[in-house]
Structure 1
Amino acid sequence: MLESIESNPEFRVGQRVHAAGDPRRIGTVKYVGPIHGYSGTWVGVDWDDGEAKHDGSINGVRYFQARSDRSGSFVRAHNLSTGISLLQALELRYRGESTKEEEDEMYVLSASNKRVSVQLLGKDKIQHMLSQFEELTSAAVSYMGVSTPGVPCHIGTIVPKLKELDLTGNLLSEWKDVGTICGQLPALAALNISNNLMLLEICGLPQLKAIRILVINNTGINWSQIEILKDSLPAIEELHLMGNNISTIQPSSSFVVRGFDSLRLLNLEDNCIAEWDEILKLSWLRSLEQLHLNKNNLNRIYYPDNDRMDEFLGGNESQKESYMPFKNLCSLLLGGNNIMDLASVDSLNAFPKLVDIRLSRNPVADPGQGGIPRFVLIARLSKVEILNGSEVSPRDRKDSEIRYIRLVMSELHENPEEIKQLHPRYAELKISHGIEDERPSVGAAGPQKMASGLLSITLKCVGASIGEKPPLTKKLPATTTVGKLKILCESFFKLKSIKPKLFLQEEGSPLPILLEDEMASLMDLGIGNESIILLDEES
């Protein structure tokens, strides 16, 4: 049995190639032919990394249109590679590089009298490879220039037990090749084809009944293609679609996405989705537990009411009775979006099982941009158990909710409806913690007026010019203002000619919160017992 790849193949427009000797430098052939003023045939390549010489034109003549001003170049054929087969990559990866003598062992001459290397895959060679590969269950051949499956009938023979295959960053572009690979590996459960630029047309894809995890990040795929893939993935549990410039969800037959009956995790991070209505099209996925939406362009979120549900279901009352949006969703990652409003935060309480939430790098959760601190997020989110990747312990919740009540009490409005609108959980939390309207705090001896309570505050020096000083723990009235505390710190730490700056260190928060309003009291800021305040110097 022979397997051959020509050493000087014919190039075609649209073909994926890599620089000879550098499988990580990948591009797409955009032109093959002569260049005015230069001899011979040239290959015009648009490089993925965008680091080349021009935009596809030279000396005022355009030969192709590159993606950017400097992502294109013209290359001689011998400086490019059209890649190798999966079988060759496996052998290189797990057997080591073959010697020059082995490479020269056999060749034939093509019709054009070119030397074509061949690889003998007879009985002896296959048995030798089987001795190494037959127990292999996981293989990674990323960035090795894989462009074809190789001889299909040999894949399953050589790696019959393969369960996980990483093909990241290769030259694959046709879905039928992916189908050929998967079709020969009946045990394959996890496949990663990220950073392969796949063609829009999906054909020749068999039923991939064993695939549980499919990673297709940065492949240029859109949701219309996902709808086609869905029919070939009856058992899919995890689907990763990062970095594909997806902006819309386009269901194939209704307003909401159906099918994907086993899908537990959907990763849509680093895409271009701006409207929450697009995400609501995923609300029918009955097994969905984790939805990753970090680094999109979302500016608000909401849980659909009855009117919105009618729109989704086209007025179908029978479906409406059994329809509960995102009924099993327990993890929603929204970091790095543009969410600004508290109504979006409060709406997360309506999701039936949501306990793991990420809101970091959104204006609403960034005190530096006028957002709310971590303790307010915890208090407003009634069911959250993991916030921004950090566990919310029972003590965290109790302390945060009491601090939140204090904060709201310090800025009480006379209009009860306004309080209810701005702070939906305020009344519920007061009852839960036994706090009355006259601003009490909970202490060892029972309810006390907040104004008369003392808070245990630990002060830590972090400024370089302040010098090493041990932390101090002081009992301070809740009415102590930031300005007064600065004066006290100057006295406590014997600071001379140093203007202090104070920060609140929040547990679970990546950065301390600057206390810049000198008229605000500890009570106003919701600073509770056993808080830590950092002392730095004004720059």
Structure 2
Amino acid sequence: MDELSGSHSISGPNGRAAAPPAAEGVGLRIGHRVHAVGNPRRIGTVRYVGAVEGYAGEWVGVDWDDGEGKHDGSLGGIRYFTARGERSGSFVRPKNLSTGISFLEGLHCRYRGNSTKEEEDEMYVFSTSQKRVSIQLLGKNKIQEKLNHFKELLGASISYLGVSSAETSNEINAIVPNLEELDLTGNLLSKWQDIGTLCEALPSLKILTLTNNLMDCEIPKLPSLVSIRVLVLNNCGITWNQVEKLKESLPAIEELHLMANNLSMIGPASSSYAQGFDSLRILNLEENCIESWDEILKLSYLRSLEQLHLNRNRLKHISYPLDHQRPELPSDCDMQDSVIRPFENLQCLLLGSNEIDDLASIDSLNLFPRLMDIRLSENPIVDPSKGGLPRFVLIARLAKIKMLNGSEVSQRERKESEIRYVRLVMAKMQSDDLEELRHLHPRFAELKALHGIEYERPSSGIAGPQKMSSGLISVKLRCIGASMGEKQPLTKKLPPTTTVGKLKVLCESFFKLKDIRLRLYIQEEGSPLKPKTTIGFGYHALDIELDLLHWIDLSSTSCIARLKNIISL
């Protein structure tokens, strides 16, 4: 038997502790990173080496990264080690585990002549926007030709090959002296000394990816890695204390990716804030466990920070630090005599999939000096099922944003959103308390004045025909479809309280459409009408069925009823 199951019955008293492991003979030790022989993607950490009661020979207790083991480190009532999960551990024969290969061995293995299709697909690096970019491949016909051209290689991916160590700096530099991008995702690297050796051997290295390598807690003195611009440490078990130690060796770092490291704190002390990182433009902290916005405020004086990625954390509230909330600067800080605003260069803030549920958090985003790109999707405050804010309200409340949830906010969309928002607020106003109105809708007065919208109280009593007629909105309607062309346009006068959903029903009646699904658009003046093509530039979809006509800017436009079952949109 090569792997033991936690459900197998063996002799021995319940609860008895295992004898101290003897990690010798096969060269394995506690903490060693290994992978299953023949499967370098099945990676784990050695937690026990020794005998298992009831079974002959030596066994290795492994805690698997993917959580797919057989038990939690105990077998037959005896605890041999403690695994991270209830079923992430198992016992394996030493012969079925590999302690890995060296960096240059991995390089030769990946670029050998008979590489598989899967391996060739993995020959990529991450761009600065974290997209896969195929790397430069050398001649595939002759192995020796490849090896001779290693010196010309600029980018390489040596992912999931079981690389666990590095040769000397001179040996590496002699083979690949010009590497600029290196992806080592999913290997067995754990020693920072090896990373330092690699970087020292590759003086041109700018982008280094170490995702899914579980790194040691202790960081020795590393050489100054002056060429590194992008460092990816996703799912590496990194703490912020380690980040603080690393920054001394990364004077020119521009992008730092720290996804999925179970981070909950930025720095050790609540009164401190992050210093240094003078060139850091992008900081990625997605998929961590940060709950308190106070931790994020510790990053507020990173003077070059332009993008902060916080998707999939546990943030409930956000704010911009007012004067009395700002962290105290140390007496030896070089920013004491400077006039520096918190997050003064931050342009992009990604907050998707958090727990934000209050309007104050949304409105506080207006205080960030240069913030233009925001992601708020999958938060309670924008969840339609919980009465969350629709997109047009977010746009109206956020004065400076040009990108919301990954979509550009055009000038037209901003204007329409702001007009709809003001009219929505006016329709729901219950009192004339200006202070309360200012508190609930900080931009209402500004937007009302900007767009010249007059407040009209609902009239009492029954309006006469002339009065009712004067309040109607004139709408030009056109109906088009790929197979039927364009019907004769109509002009109708409709009450301003007509909803988009009601207008669809009216269009079905006006144009005698039966059992046909249609979609409404506003066509800007001068935009071409092309029944046989997809609606594109110059058109704005009316998709919110509860919107009222008087929320929509219908000046210099036509309303287009386009048949969905005929045209692909």
Same-fold call, TM > 0.5? yes
- In the alignment, does 2:423 pair up with 1:406? yes
Cross-structure match for 1:225: 242
Given residue 328 of structure 2, which amino acid in structure 1 is its aligned partner?
A: F
Name the CA distance, whole Å, in 1 between partners of 2:450 and 2:402: 18
The answer to which of 215-224 and 197-206 deviates more is: 197-206
Name the CA distance, whole Å, in 1 between partners of 2:477 and 2:398: 26
Name the CA distance, whole Å, in 2 between partners of 1:293 and 1:16: 30
Cα offset, 1:531, TM superposition: 7.5
Q: Is the 8 A contact 1:227 1:252 kept in 2?
A: no
- In the alignment, does 2:332 pair up with 1:312? no
Aligned counterpart for 2:90 among listed residues 56, 59, 73: 73
Change (3 A) 1:44 1:451: farther
- In the alignment, does 2:416 pair up with 1:366? no
- In the alignment, does 2:353 pair up with 1:333? no
Per-residue CA deviations over 1:356-384 (Å, capped at 9, x if unaligned) read 11111112223332111111111111111
Cross-structure match for 1:255: 272
The answer to which of 71-80 and 138-147 deviates more is: 71-80
Name the CA distance, whole Å, in 1 between partners of 2:190 and 2:559: 56
Cα offset, 1:353, TM superposition: 0.7
Cross-structure match for 1:434: 452
Per-residue CA deviations over 1:491-517 (Å, capped at 9, x if unaligned) read 458799x9x999999x99xx997647x
Change (3 A) 1:234 1:403: same
Change (3 A) 1:253 1:379: closer
Q: Is the 8 A contact 1:242 1:271 kept in 2?
A: yes
TM-score when scaled to structure 1? 0.79
Change (3 A) 1:312 1:336: farther
Name the CA distance, whole Å, in 2 between partners of 1:42 and 1:532: 73
Q: Is the 8 A contact 2:520 2:559 kept in 1?
A: no
Cross-structure match for 1:214: 231
Q: Percent identity?
A: 58
Aligned counterpart for 2:441 among listed residues 395, 400, 423: 423
Cα offset, 1:340, TM superposition: 1.2
Cα offset, 1:438, TM superposition: 3.2
1:155 is paired with a residue whose SS is helix
Per-residue CA deviations over 1:163-219 (Å, capped at 9, x if unaligned) read 110000000111111111111111111100010011111114211111110000001
- List alignment gaps of at least 5 residues for structure 2: 1-24, 116-142, 459-468, 523-535, 565-569
Name the CA distance, whole Å, in 2 between partners of 1:353 and 1:21: 51
2:374 is paired with a residue whose SS is strand
Cα offset, 1:146, TM superposition: 0.3
Aligned counterpart for 1:136 among listed residues 129, 138, 153: 153
Q: How do residues 153-302 of structure 1 correspond to structure 2 at under 5 angstroms? A: 153-250=170-267, 255-302=272-319
Change (3 A) 1:97 1:79: farther
The answer to which of 449-458 and 300-309 deviates more is: 449-458
Change (3 A) 1:288 1:458: farther
Change (3 A) 1:44 1:316: closer
Per-residue CA deviations over 1:257-288 (Å, capped at 9, x if unaligned) read 11000000000011111111110100000000
Cross-structure match for 1:116: none
2:203 is paired with a residue whose SS is coil
Aligned counterpart for 2:473 among listed residues 453, 461, 470: 453
Cross-structure match for 2:17: none
Cα offset, 1:17, TM superposition: 0.3
Cα offset, 1:436, TM superposition: 2.4
Q: Is the 8 A contact 2:179 2:204 kept in 1?
A: yes
Q: How do residues 345-360 of structure 1 correspond to structure 2 at under 5 angstroms? A: 345-360=362-377
1:313 is paired with a residue whose SS is coil
Name the CA distance, whole Å, in 2 between partners of 1:450 and 1:277: 55
Cα offset, 1:251, TM superposition: 5.8
Name the CA distance, whole Å, in 2 between partners of 1:457 and 1:406: 23
Given residue 414 of structure 1, which amino acid in structure 2 is its aligned partner?
A: D
Change (3 A) 1:57 1:228: same
Q: Is the 8 A contact 1:130 1:159 kept in 2?
A: no
Change (3 A) 1:86 1:473: farther
Q: Is the 8 A contact 1:367 1:513 kept in 2?
A: no
Cross-structure match for 1:10: 27
Q: How do residues 24-35 of structure 1 correspond to structure 2 at under 5 angstroms? A: 24-35=41-52
1:24 is paired with a residue whose SS is strand
Name the CA distance, whole Å, in 1 between partners of 2:154 and 2:66: 32
Name the CA distance, whole Å, in 2 between partners of 1:243 and 1:349: 29
Q: Is the 8 A contact 2:419 2:552 kept in 1?
A: no
Cross-structure match for 2:107: 90
How many positions carry a matched residue from both structures?
Answer: 477
- In the alignment, does 2:361 pair up with 1:344? yes
Change (3 A) 1:295 1:90: same
Cross-structure match for 1:397: 414
Cα offset, 1:454, TM superposition: 3.8
Change (3 A) 1:527 1:368: farther
Given residue 432 of structure 1, which amino acid in structure 2 is its aligned partner?
A: L
1:207 is paired with a residue whose SS is coil
Given residue 138 of structure 1, which amino acid in structure 2 is its aligned partner?
A: G
Cα offset, 1:221, TM superposition: 0.4
Per-residue CA deviations over 1:11-66 (Å, capped at 9, x if unaligned) read 11110000001000000111111111111111111111111211112222221111
Cα offset, 1:456, TM superposition: 6.0
Given residue 324 of structure 1, which amino acid in structure 2 is its aligned partner?
A: R
Name the CA distance, whole Å, in 2 between partners of 1:271 and 1:41: 38
Per-residue CA deviations over 1:70-93 (Å, capped at 9, x if unaligned) read 111111111110000010000111
1:343 is paired with a residue whose SS is helix
The answer to which of 425-434 and 82-91 deviates more is: 425-434
Q: Is the 8 A contact 2:519 2:542 kept in 1?
A: no
Given residue 201 of structure 2, which amino acid in structure 1 is its aligned partner?
A: Q
Cross-structure match for 1:146: 163
1:319 is paired with a residue whose SS is coil
Cα offset, 1:231, TM superposition: 0.6
Name the CA distance, whole Å, in 1 between partners of 2:345 and 2:228: 22
Q: Is the 8 A contact 2:111 2:146 kept in 1?
A: no
Name the CA distance, whole Å, in 2 between partners of 1:14 and 1:210: 31
Name the CA distance, whole Å, in 2 between partners of 1:272 and 1:491: 54
The answer to which of 248-257 and 404-413 deviates more is: 248-257
Name the CA distance, whole Å, in 1 between partners of 2:561 and 2:332: 56
Cross-structure match for 1:113: none
Given residue 427 of structure 1, which amino acid in structure 2 is its aligned partner?
A: A
- In the alignment, does 2:341 pair up with 1:324? yes
The answer to which of 170-179 and 252-261 deviates more is: 252-261
Given residue 301 of structure 1, which amino acid in structure 2 is its aligned partner?
A: I
